[in-house]
Amino acid sequence: MSIRKSSLLTPRTSNWMGVTALSAALLATTALPSKADEALADLVESVSPSVVTIIAEQDATAVPARGQDFDFESHPFGEFFKRFGTPEGFNAPQRGPAQGLGSGFVLDEAGYIVTNHHVVDNASNVTVRLNDDRTFDAEVVGTDPLTDIAVLKIDAGESLQAVELGDSDVIRVGEDVVAIGNPFGLSSTVTTGIVSAKGRNISQGPYAEFIQTDAAINKGNSGGPLFNMEGEVVGVNSAIYSPSGGSVGLGFAVTSNIVEHIAADLRDDGQVSRGWLGVSIQNVSPEIAAAMGIDASKGALVSEVVDGSPAQGILEQGDVILTFNDETVDSSSDLPLLVGTTKVGTDSTLTVLRDGKEQQLELTIGQHQSASADIDKSVDETISGTALGVTVAPLTDTTRAEMGVGENVNGVVVTDLSPESPAAKAGLQRGDVIVKLGGQETVSPDALKAALDSEKTDPALVLINRGGNQIFVAVEIA
């Protein structure tokens, strides 16, 4: 039997040389960086000097209380102390000074730095490390928990290289973006991805809007910039969704247009001045639209007007707000952001649908009052040996209007919580509404306190409302 050799194994000299030349050309093409690669490298090289590391230090604190006294699980006589009490003069164990790392960027050559509120929250000392490894003590000019933005100031003795803020409204889904920051302490780390979505609401509150990206963002990236391919900051990396704690391609950045407004306010006087209408609003559902004889379910339906507010005597219950200062209001979630970024005292124009007819109304924007003014501080403390570790406020008409909470939801709103608290570990967030605890309705801070006092099950089943969705969480309370 004869074996016929393939012509591929016995090439003619001219064909073999052609294949060799083609292979060499392909190898050369692979080895040389593309224009896109060079453009990305040039971008990173140009903006990296403006990206900084934030080092936030907290003083030593007592170990959080649990049970009647302290958490003695790691103490050799812990079980004895829990049963029979602690000796007279026994001092609470101390947690040593804590240090957190985050990211930031130079907003102004005079030394103003932007980062996240949660990076520097409760810090006793904040240090900024520049790209060239120089470090400077930083002054916290001001922070805004509702948008998770903070502004710092350092004196470097010279002008710093600042970045430009881009227009986050014009960026499109699918565009390339670059994140630079300090994940897990690895400074000047660069990751790339695309804009996965715009206008995300991740229950941070009614005044924050997020860009979603699949660029790898991890712990330590918080406060760092998200760049477009022009080298402009289009977002501040603030949060990730991750079952594991690492990046799974779901990162969220506060939009640069919000950052620009907040940073300007904080630089001015260390506080954020937000506009206020004083109305409770809700979405126009298809059923409501049909009942009102409206063709489309768009706009923000006024369900209540707050007494003494700028809207009193101008807006009416049942009005559907269609535009605010020529900006379209597609849903109730659009209005707080538009009003909140409007300067107090501004004469504004609204288009409303009233009795089936469009009308233009004018009013003067008032000063937003923080819902935290009504907080019952007692719920933040240990109560009969149980603690959630949250600060809550009642759902007043003003609070509902600010948060876009529907009238059918009753409970108390979480305005703050400790990162190490049982509530935080169970997944509760600022802006969540606690509806029930252990089967008991929590319509007020006192009702929550009573539910905590009488709860016998540990963990307790807590029903919360988050962004209009009701979910159960299990929280350890004793």
Q: Based on the residue annotation, tell me whether 118 is a catalytic residue of this protein.
A: yes
| Pairwise CA distance, residues 443 & 437, whole Å | 11
* Catalytic choice (118, 187, 238, 297): 118
Q: What is the pLDDT of residue 385?
A: 36
| Whether 265 is catalytic | no
- Output the tens digit of pLDDT for each of the chain's 478 residues: 443 333 333 334 444 445 455 455 544 455 566 777 788 999 999 999 999 999 999 876 554 444 444 555 555 555 555 555 555 555 555 555 667 899 999 999 999 999 999 999 889 999 999 999 999 999 999 999 889 999 999 999 999 999 999 999 999 999 999 999 999 888 889 999 999 999 887 766 678 889 999 999 988 899 999 999 999 999 999 988 777 667 788 899 999 999 999 999 999 989 888 888 988 888 888 888 887 788 888 899 888 888 889 999 999 988 999 999 999 999 888 898 899 888 889 999 999 999 889 999 999 999 876 543 333 333 333 333 345 778 888 887 667 766 667 777 889 888 877 777 788 888 888 888 898 887 788 888 888 888 888 876 667 778 888 766 677 677 876 5
Query: Which three-class secondary structure string do you get for 39-61?
Result: HHHHHHHHHHHHEEEEEEEECCE
Burial class of residue 102 in the structure, from the number of CB atoms within 10 Å of its CB (0-12 exposed, 13-18 middle, 19+ buried): buried
- The number of angstroms, rounded, from the C-alpha of 459 to the middle of its chain's C-alpha atoms is 28
> What are the φ/ψ torsions at residue 107 (nearest 5 degrees)?
-90, -30
If phi > 0 it is left, if psi is from -120 to 50 it is alpha, else beta; for residue 405 that is beta
pLDDT score of 254: 94
Q: How confident is the model at residue 372, as a pLDDT?
A: 39
What DSSP state is assigned to residue 378?
Answer: G
Q: Active site residue: 222, 238, 297, 333, which one? A: 222
68's tokens = 């009647």
Question: Which domains, ranges and CATH numbers included, belong to the chain?
Answer: 164-269 (2.40.10.10), 275-367 (2.30.42.10), 376-475 (2.30.42.10)
> Is 309 one of the annotated active-site residues of the chain?
no
Query: Residues 454, 425: contact at Cβ < 8 Å?
Result: no
Catalytic residue among 103, 117, 148, 334: 148
CA distance 310 to 306: 9
